[in-house]
Amino acid sequence: MQIAETESLSRLISSIGTDRFGYSVDEALKPEVQFDMSCGFIFRFNCNAILVHNGYNKSVPEETLSAYIRGGYLLDPFYVACVNGHPAGLWRMSELAPDSFFSSGFAISKDLHPCVSSAEGTNVEEVGIIIPLRPQVAAVYSVMRHRRNGLFSESELEYLSRMSPIIAAAFKQHCKITYSHVHSEAVDTGAVLEDAFMDILQGQLTDSQRYVAKLILQGHSSSSIAANLEISEGTVKVHKHNIYQRLEISSNAELFRLFINYLAKTS
């Protein structure tokens, strides 16, 4: 281990529990990994996301970040992975995302998606470290690079993977000190659908229809929904037809607009 690396890790450890923590994580990685933005969140089932580190470098409007924290996170593949017990460690966003995610309303929305609201739009590669804290609660530290600068190289990903246990240990301690309530609050482990989806999708939908609508919003195609729910694509199409009819809409885009409108009402 080189002297510079030892010093950066020392600063990282010293910053645990302070407002310098996220930036110290960034600085520990920058000698080996080139990235344009970073962020850290705590994701909890059916609770607003907690911003642990804002490394967007002022490229994300406050209103977009606020909307994401209030509910946009529900459509983020990292949130979905965290509350469903996905294995810890380093993951590309593209490895977690549903098959139609990158053409979904969330992925292209400047109102909700922090990276889309930046100058580069969806031309950003995101790699994140999932750090479980307790059942259905995890922290995620992500680094992002504009695609014009190329994807993360294998050597960079290898370095991030090698550093992941250190970053995870530091994050766990930082969250324990700074966000102690996260470790003590009750979690409704019996719930399968977040309150926001219940409210957005109104009372006239059945539980099955609400769940299908949730998967549509999160970027799943009909075939992916069928595989997730172990039903036929024909049944999925019937569900979608009934959802549209009952909500008086005619497309996925209008369904996403209902989601946006709900978040606007809760601001």
Residue 260 lies in a domain: yes
Q: Which residue has the higher pLDDT, 103 or 29?
A: 29
Structure tokens at 121: 């739009």
Domain annotation covers residue 189: no
CA dist 219 and 113 (Å) reads 13
Question: Does residue 142 share a domain with residue 16?
Answer: yes
Task: Report the candidate in 244, 250, 264 with the shortest Cα–Cα distance to residue 201.
Answer: 244
Which CATH number goes with the domain that contains 218?
1.10.10.10
What is the SS3 assignment for the chain?
A: CCHHHHHHHHHHHHHCCCCCHHHHHHHHHCCCCCCCEEEEEEEECCEEEEEEEEECCCCCCHHHHHHHHHCHHHHCHHHHHHHCCCCCEEEEHHHHCCCCHHHCCCCCCCCCCCCCCCCCCCCEEEEEEEEEEECCEEEEEEEEEEHHHCCCCHHHHHHHHHHHHHHHHHHHHHHHHHCHHHHCCCCCCCCCCCHHHHHHCCCCCCHHHHHHHHHHHCCCCHHHHHHHHCCCHHHHHHHHHHHHHHHCCCCHHHHHHHHHHHHHHCC
The single-letter DSSP state of residue 74 is: G
CATH number of the domain that residue 70 is part of: 3.30.450.40
Who contacts 259 (Cβ-Cβ below 8 Å, separation ≥6)? Answer: 71, 75, 105, 200, 217
Determine the pLDDT at residue 2.
65
Q: Are residues 178 and 208 in the same domain?
A: no
User: What phi, psi does 25 have (nearest 5°)?
Assistant: -65, -45
Q: How many domains in the chain? A: 2
As a whole number of angstroms, the distance between CA 107 and CA 217 comes to 10
Average pLDDT, the chain: 90
Do 253 and 128 share a structural domain? no
Domain shared by 126 and 257, yes or no? no
91 band by pLDDT with thresholds 50, 70 and 90? very high
Candidate ranges 111-115, 131-135, 200-204; pick with highest mean pLDDT: 131-135
Shared domain check, 171 and 60? yes
On the question of pLDDT at 14 being above 80, the answer is yes
Give the pLDDT confidence of 192-250 residue by residue, as tens digits: 678 888 887 767 789 899 999 999 999 999 999 999 999 999 999 999 999 999 999 99
Above 90 in pLDDT, residue 140?
Answer: yes
pLDDT of 103 higher than 90? no
pLDDT at 115: 78
Among 183, 212, 246, the domain-final residue is 183
Question: CB–CB of 68/113 below 8 Å?
Answer: yes
pLDDT at 1 exceeding the cut of 60: no
Structural contact between residues 157 and 34, judged by C-beta atoms closer than 8 angstroms: no
**42: its two tokens:** 């705590």
Q: Are residues 239 and 129 in the same domain?
A: no
Are 91 and 207 in a shared domain? no
| 47 and 168 co-located in one domain | yes
Range of the domain at 203: 195-265
Q: What is the pLDDT of residues 19-29, one digit of tens each?
A: 999 999 999 99
pLDDT at 121 over 60: no
